[in-house]
């Protein structure tokens, strides 16, 4: 299922990029995606969002713990890791329809915050509904991510998802975000495209 979904986003985004004399990178397009049209907003956003999601997933029990810096920032922003998870889960359950829940370094403020975006929008996009910032962790609340195993129990899906979060990667993205850099270790588009299409059986 997930291979078909990502493969579809990649195909549509690649088609849109080919129309440009200077095709933008998947990272570069995020800022102006909302104003660049549906192909960049929906499919470009989807490619970025799902690459970030899967890059922050590790086999159960291997994701480690947040770095000292990230753990301290979570403590400052939410009071404790338990409270952060509770607020994140609450936001995921409360979000109506498809979309994403994010842990971000808030733009212009510098602290961590939780925000939600609809469909394939993300906090890097200018004009997004939600809190703008640099995402360092994202959880998809699209129904196809959890329905087969959890049916309508989104809360159970999010609680289970914590066990596969790659905190080593998230900690690196937090360190990058402090320097004003969005996640850069997203799989290169060409490699991701080939891999997703193989998984999708294309």
Contact 135, 102 (CB under 8 A): yes
User: Which pair of structure tokens corresponds to residue 60?
Assistant: 């159960």
21 vs 27: CA distance, rounded Å: 17
pLDDT, tens digit (0-9, with 9 covering 90-100), for 109-145: 889 999 999 999 999 999 999 999 999 999 999 988 8
**pLDDT higher than threshold 50 for residue 1:** no
Q: Is the pLDDT of residue 98 over 90?
A: yes
pLDDT band at 39 (very low <50, low <70, confident <90, very high): confident
- What pTM was computed for the model? 0.85
DSSP state, 144? G
User: What is the structure's pLDDT at 173?
Assistant: 97
Question: Which residue is associated with the tokens 């059986």?
Answer: 201
Lowest-pLDDT range, 6-10, 74-78, 126-130? 6-10
Looking at residue 10, what is its pLDDT?
66
Query: Could you tell me the CA-to-CA distances from 140 to 24, 33, 77, 179, 201 in Å, in that order?
Result: 24, 19, 22, 26, 23
User: Among residues of the chain, what percentage have pLDDT more than 70?
Assistant: 80
Whether the per-residue pLDDT at 105 is higher than 70: the answer is yes
What is d(CA 178, CA 162) in angstroms, rounded to the nearest whole number? 23
What pLDDT shows up at residue 151? 86
Average pLDDT over residues 104-111: 94
- Quote the distance between the C-alpha of residue 187 and its chain's center: 13
Residue with the two structure tokens 């049916």 = 151
Percent of the chain with pLDDT over 90: 62
Res 12: pLDDT: 64
């Amino acid at each position: 299922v997930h291979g078909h979904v990502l493969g579809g986003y990649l195909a549509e985004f690649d088609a849109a990029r080919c129309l440009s004399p200077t095709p933008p990178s998947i990272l570069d397009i995020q800022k102006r995606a909302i104003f660049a049209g549906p192909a960049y907003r929906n499919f470009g956003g989807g490619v970025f969002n799902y690459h970030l999601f899967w890059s922050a997933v590790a086999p159960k029990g291997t994701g480690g713990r947040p770095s000292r810096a990230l753990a301290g920032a979570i403590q400052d922003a939410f009071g404790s890791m338990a409270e952060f998870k509770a607020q994140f889960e609450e936001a995921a359950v409360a979000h109506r329809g498809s979309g994403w829940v994010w842990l971000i370094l808030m733009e212009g403020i510098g602290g961590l915050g939780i925000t939600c975006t609809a469909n394939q929008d993300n906090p890097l996009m200018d004009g997004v509904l939600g809190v703008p910032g640099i995402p360092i962790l994202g959880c998809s609340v699209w129904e196809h991510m959890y329905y087969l195993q959890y049916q309508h129990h989104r809360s159970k899906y999010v609680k289970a998802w914590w066990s596969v979060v790659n905190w080593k990667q998230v900690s690196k993205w937090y360190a990058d975000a402090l320097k004003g850099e969005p996640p850069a270790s997203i799989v290169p588009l060409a490699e991701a495209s080939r891999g997703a299409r193989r998984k999708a059986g294309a």
